[in-house]
Amino acid sequence: MNTNMLEKVLWDFGNDPSRVGRFQQNPDEYLSQYALSADEKRAIRELDVRTLSEHKVNALLTMMAFILMKGPQGMPEYMQRMNTPRS
């Protein structure tokens, strides 16, 4: 996975939170502006923070993006995903 590009996608959400709405309305169209593989798009679309973490995407960004998408109340789910190996 291209960690640099994945970090760019996540950082852009924090830098301009209006992007979150555009992403959530049409994830495929939103992600088409980035040079991402199918797997990378899936990881972003599904907020697969565990996989992103395993590919060394910075945890500051995975947490920030998850909270932007799910709200602060999403933290327990974030921690569960970070601590649950993918099957």
Partner 1 sequence: MAEIVGGFVMAHDPLITGEPEVADSKQRDNVMAAFSEICDRVRALEATTAIIVGDDHYVLFGPHCLPSMLIGIGDLEGPVEPWLRIERGPVENNQPLARHIMEEGFDNGFDWAVAKVLTLDHATMVPTQLVARPTGMKVIPVYLACGVAPFIRPRRAHQVGQLIKKAVESFPSDERVVVFGTGGISHWVGEAQMGRVNEEFDRMVLSCVEKGDVESLIRLDNDFILENGGNGALEIRNFICAMGAMSGLKGKIKGRVICYEAMPQWITGLGFAELLAA
CB of 26 to partner 1, least distance (A): 24
Rounded alpha-carbon distances, angstroms, from residue 80 to 27, 38, 51: 24, 25, 13
Q: What is the dihedral of CA 35, 85, 68, 15, to 10 degrees?
A: -40
CB of 2 to partner 1, least distance (A): 11
CB of 51 to partner 1, least distance (A): 13
In which residue are the tokens 């993918």 written? 86
What residue ranges bind partner 1 (CB under 8 A)?
Answer: 4, 7-8, 11-12, 14-15, 53, 58-64, 79, 82-83
> Given the complex with partner 1, which of 42 and 53 has the nearer CB atom?
53
